[in-house]
A and B are shown apart, each in its own frame.
Chain A
Amino acid sequence: MNALEVEIRRKAYRREGREVAALTDLAFAIPPGQFACIVGPSGCGKTTLLSIIAGLDRDFEGPVRRPAAASRLGMVFQTPRLMPWLSVRENVRLALDPPPRQESRAEELLREMQLGALLDAYPSQLSGGQQRRVALARAFVRDPELLLLDEPFQSLDAPTAQHLRDLLLALWARRRPTILFVTHDLREALSLGDRVLFLSAGPGRVVFDLPVDLPRPRDIESAAIDALRKRLLESYPDLLRGLAAASSAESAA
């Protein structure tokens, strides 16, 4: 398995006839098996970056080398994006090729994620947290070598989000896929990643590359993470302005 290598020289959108740069000179490499988080203010092009890496967006300049064959790519979007007409089980089977006829890894994984009682339910019958678990299962079931996650746990209550983070870490510990996890929550990034890449406000590029060597397991509420976060915000106030504003608004709320 190779590293994920990204060297996007330029990615632009057309908006009302004008070109707007979304990403410029964005380069980084993630070695196999690393858990990397990407943090940046909203509108900095995080979702665009993931779309490019996933191969959904081919309209950009510069090479992107994925570590895995296309079939070993897993992706979790900001919203669960389940097919409403397929049951939980069928939604996860969708990711398996060829589609299994009997009980398979899909059911096994769903049971592991405490969805065993809901195998034949439709997404509209599930809570938001359950839907996200199904979306995670759909990404995990292919045993991906590269897993892309786009703020997968946002707008969930804290215990549910933590439960899903633990599931993700358990999968990562077992199978060691390369993970790229996009978030705007610095605490979440510090609690999950081996490394955090900070993107600038749009057009996005990497402005800071921080290795995180806190011992695992980590607790998102722990003093160590809080201290690290404070130190970062104090040492690099300009760098992280977008985030600092978001975080102070959060703590004020």
Chain B
Amino acid sequence: MTVQALRPSDVWLRWLSALSFLAVWAVAAKLAQAPLLPGPGAVAMALVKLTASGQLPLDLGITLLRVAASFAFAMAAGAAIGIAMGRSRRLDAFFDLWLVLGLNIPALVIIYLCYIWGGLTEVAAIVAVGLNKVPNTATILREGARAVDRELLQVADVLRLPRLRRLRLVYLPQLYPYFMAATRSGLSLIWKIVLVAEFIGRSNGVGFRLNVYFEFFDITNILAYSASFIAVVLAAEAWLIRPLERRLTGWRA
């Protein structure tokens, strides 16, 4: 799912695309003349106001912390389960059905169950969001563990590498592409589900705030929150995910 590098001659097309999106939006808003479709200008104003008041940064920060915690939990648990299943035929045969079940439980059901069993707490929210991602991470990492090259592990055996070096230099690098795939699909899933968990059971964060504005039919602020959220996702992709990917799998270039 890597974005293909643009040719310099195509960069202006990107800009044109962004500008025409804003233009279409502005024209549509002008024609509609309705409070239900504010134009880009109104949304930008709202964005500035919300940022200045400190409310938006606070909500965004809280949501990001929840994303980070859920993501860490989902990756750790999912990777452990997936690698164990990829390595052992028996574990795989036994838990495969569980994994299929996990992959197909609706996110909403997991969230409700976690809140019912764990109370409307921060931990329940984070676990609920993370649990939605665990089966997916496990499936991807299982594939990775199955594809591990036994010939390279034999080299580690002949060299009598200590466990930690073997893990760090021979085993895990083979899984990095799978970790990256799980990271990408995981973040995009968690971004979306965290908002649902927030509006159902938390009293702050982007998801909670969107629900409040929805109840007031305040489309301008809903769009302002969405825009800031999209900006954060794109920034994370550009300054976190892609550099990480370059670092871990740069040798393939």
In the complex formed, the residue of A with least CB distance to B155 is: A81
- The answer to whether A83 and B151 touch across the interface, beta carbons within 8 angstroms, is no
Q: Which of B149-187 contact A (CB under 8 A)?
A: 151-152, 154-155, 157-162, 165, 169-170, 173, 176
Which of A71-79, A226-234, A238-246 forms contacts with chain B?
A: A71-79
B216 at the A interface (CB under 8 A): no
Task: Say what secondary structure dominates the interface of chain A.
Answer: loop
Which of A92-100, A104-112, A206-214 forms contacts with chain B?
A: A92-100
- The answer to whether A81 and B170 touch across the interface, beta carbons within 8 angstroms, is no
CA distance A84 to B176 in the complex (A): 13
CB distance from A57 to the nearest CB of B (A): 10
| Given A56-B157, A86-B169, A94-B169, CB of A81 within 8 Å of CB of B151 | yes
CB distance from A118 to the nearest CB of B (A): 14
- The answer to whether A70 and B160 touch across the interface, beta carbons within 8 angstroms, is yes
**Interface size range of chain B in the complex:** 10 to 19
Which residues in B have their C-beta under 8 angstroms from that of A172? none
Which residues in A have their C-beta under 8 angstroms from that of B12? none
CB < 8 Å neighbour of B162 from A73, A75, A97: A97
Q: Mark A58-88, 1 if CB is under 8 A from B, else 0.
A: 0000000000001101010101010111100
Show 30 residue pairs from A and B whose CB-CB distance is below 8 angstroms, ordered by the A residue: A51-B154, A54-B157, A55-B157, A56-B158, A70-B160, A71-B160, A73-B160, A75-B158, A77-B151, A77-B154, A79-B151, A81-B154, A83-B169, A83-B173, A84-B251, A84-B252, A85-B173, A85-B176, A85-B251, A86-B169, A86-B173, A86-B251, A94-B161, A94-B165, A94-B169, A94-B170, A97-B161, A124-B251, A124-B252, A142-B159
Q: State the A residues within 8 Å of B (CB).
A: 51, 54-56, 70-71, 73, 75, 77, 79, 81, 83-86, 90, 94-95, 97, 99, 122, 124, 142
